[in-house]
Every structure is written in structure tokens, then in C-alpha cells.
């Protein structure tokens, strides 16, 4: 049985870009959200082997610490020509200073080493695994992806992380050139464009009242 989210929800992320998007996605559903940072919660070690298990680790840790339902996202970019890297290590490729300009340059360097110059050799997808954990250990989990190609040089200053390098299929602008509303691509713009918005649509279907 799926469980509905009611009352207060902890957003279990320490990434400001994700936090802003997760708050925006929740806003129309009238959920009272408080961030892990506001509650002074720590960051658990992400020891899972896939997005789904790392999302669960983060949601469970926050739900236990706050004694409230907690909502976590584990995400990353999967580059086909790099055998799926950086994947679940997407945050780590930016290093302790969270330098995503350097992380994007590293991807580009590896793509060039492999001679991946044309769009068909530069395909990639973002993945978002979302998990809501309750203090009694109940879990709800969903996952979605957004497909596209990697451009160089990066374009746009909106968004966060690898957004300026990612051109979603069927679009002429990178996520870095889109407003967050365009990146979500939710009604009336569409049925979900980003990995996170697409996963959130699935979560909303099972855990939230219709907006
Ligand atoms: P939390 O664990 O605290 O949520 P984090 O940044 O460490 O924050 P992840 O472990 O899930 O989160 O790392 C995912 C990385 O992938 C993240 O740091 C981003 O740089 C990148 N990423 C994920 N979603 C993205 C998006 O929508 N646009 C651009 N980059 C994204």
C-alpha cells in the first residue's frame, strides 16, 4: 500500500540547487517543507551501489534524525561514451570545492580522448531516484531519467551542476539556459522534462493529493 505525504516533510538534501527544485515541485501540493540544513541534520555517507539505494540512505537518515517523513533525491549524469561515468559519482567528480566547471571540463576531456565529437557519440542521461522515508521505516521510491546530448562549451548560467552542458532531446537550449520552470517542463508546458520533475510526477501519483 502506498502512503500519502501529510503534514511536515523534511527535504533531505544539502545541495542548494536541488533544494530549490524540490521546494518548487512540492509547492503546488501545499506540503510544509523544512530542509535538512535548517534542521541542522548531518550528511550520511552514500555507500549504495545505485541511485535508488543512495536516495534511501539519505531519506532514512533524515527521517530517523528528525522523527518526520523525509524526502531525498539521488541523481547524476550517465555518459554513454564514458561507460556510464560519472553516474552515482557525479557529485564527487566536482571535488570538495564542488567545482562543476572543472567536472564538466573533465567529462569533455575524456570525451575528446575517445574521439566523441558528433552528437550521436555524446549521448547522456540524467537520473533522479526519489525516496520518501517515514520514521516507522515505510519507504516510497520512484526513479526517472531525462535523455540528451552533451554540448561544449557549456551554455547558460541557470540551474546547477552539469546543467550548462546538457541539451535535452527535442530542445534547442541546455538546462543551463532554461528557467527552473522550463526545466521541470510540467503542465501547462508539458508532462515533465527533467529527470527530477519526471520522477516527481510518479511520486505525486502515489503519495500526494492531486494539485
Ligand atoms: P545531496 O546528497 O545532499 O542531495 P549531492 O549534490 O551530494 O546533494 P548527489 O549525491 O545526488 O547529491 O549528487 C548528484 C550530483 O549530480 C549533483 O551534485 C549534481 O551536480 C548532479 N546533478 C544531479 N541533478 C542535476 C541536475 O538536475 N542538473 C545538473 N546537475 C545535476
Identify which of 76, 89, 129, 154 to mutate to test ligand 1's pocket (most ligand atoms within 8 A of the CB).
76
Three cell numbers, residue 166: 546538457
CATH topology of domain 8-207: Maf protein (3.90.950)
Three cell numbers, residue 189: 508546458
Q: Determine the atom of ligand 1 nearest the C-alpha atom of 76.
A: 16
Distance of CA 34 to the CA centre of its chain: 18
Our answer on whether the CB atom of 162 is closer than 6 Å to any ligand 1 atom is yes
Give pLDDT tens digits for 196-209.
999 999 999 999 98
Q: What is the pLDDT of residue 5?
A: 95
Our answer on whether the CB atom of 71 is closer than 6 Å to any ligand 1 atom is no
Q: Which residue in this structure is represented by grid cell 506540503?
A: 31
Cα gap 211→199, rounded to integer Å: 16
Ligand 1 centre distance from Cα of residue 76 (Å): 6
Our answer on whether the CB atom of 90 is closer than 6 Å to any ligand 1 atom is yes
Active-site residue set = 74
Q: What is the pLDDT of residue 209?
A: 81
- Whose Cα sits closest to atom 19 in ligand 1? 161
Largest CA distance in the chain: 52
Q: What is the b/e burial string over 15-33, where b = at least 16 CB atoms within 10 angstroms of the residue's CB? A: beebbebbebbbeebebeb
Identify which of 90, 173, 174 to mutate to test ligand 1's pocket (most ligand atoms within 8 A of the CB).
90
Helices 195-207 & 16-26, crossing angle to 10 degrees? 40
Q: What string of pLDDT tens digits covers the 211 residues of the chain? A: 999 999 999 999 999 999 999 999 999 998 999 999 999 999 999 999 999 999 999 999 999 999 999 999 999 999 999 999 999 999 999 999 999 999 999 999 999 999 999 999 999 999 999 999 999 999 999 999 999 999 999 999 999 999 999 999 999 999 999 999 999 999 999 999 999 999 999 999 999 987 6
Amino acid at each position: 500500500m502506498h502512503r500519502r505525504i501529510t503534514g511536515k516533510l523534511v527535504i533531505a538534501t544539502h545541495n542548494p540547487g536541488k533544494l530549490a527544485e524540490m521546494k518548487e515541485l512540492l509547492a503546488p501540493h501545499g506540503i510544509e517543507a523544512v530542509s535538512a540544513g535548517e534542521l541542522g541534520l548531518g550528511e550520511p555517507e552514500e555507500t549504495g551501489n545505485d541511485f535508488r539505494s543512495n536516495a534511501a540512505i539519505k531519506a532514512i537518515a533524515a527521517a530517523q534524525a528528525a522523527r518526520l517523513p523525509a524526502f531525498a533525491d539521488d541523481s547524476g549524469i550517465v555518459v554513454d561514451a564514458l561507460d556510464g561515468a560519472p553516474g552515482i559519482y557525479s557529485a564527487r567528480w566536482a571535488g570538495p570545492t564542488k567545482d562543476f566547471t572543472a567536472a564538466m571540463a573533465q567529462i569533455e576531456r575524456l570525451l575528446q580522448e575517445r574521439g566523441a565529437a558528433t552528437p550521436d557519440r555524446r549521448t547522456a542521461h540524467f537520473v533522479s531516484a526519489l525516496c520518501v522515508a517515514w520514521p516507522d521505516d515505510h519507504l516510497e521510491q520512484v526513479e526517472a531519467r531525462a535523455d540528451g546530448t552533451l554540448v561544449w562549451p557549456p551554455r547558460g548560467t541557470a540551474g546547477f551542476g552539469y546543467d550548462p552542458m546538457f541539451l535535452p532531446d527535442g530542445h534547442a537550449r541546455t538546462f543551463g539556459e532554461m528557467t527552473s520552470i522550463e526545466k521541470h517542463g510540467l503542465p501547462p508546458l508539458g508532462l515533465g522534462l527533467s529527470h527530477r520533475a519526471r520522477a516527481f510526477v510518479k511520486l505525486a501519483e502515489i503519495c500526494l493529493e492531486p494539485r
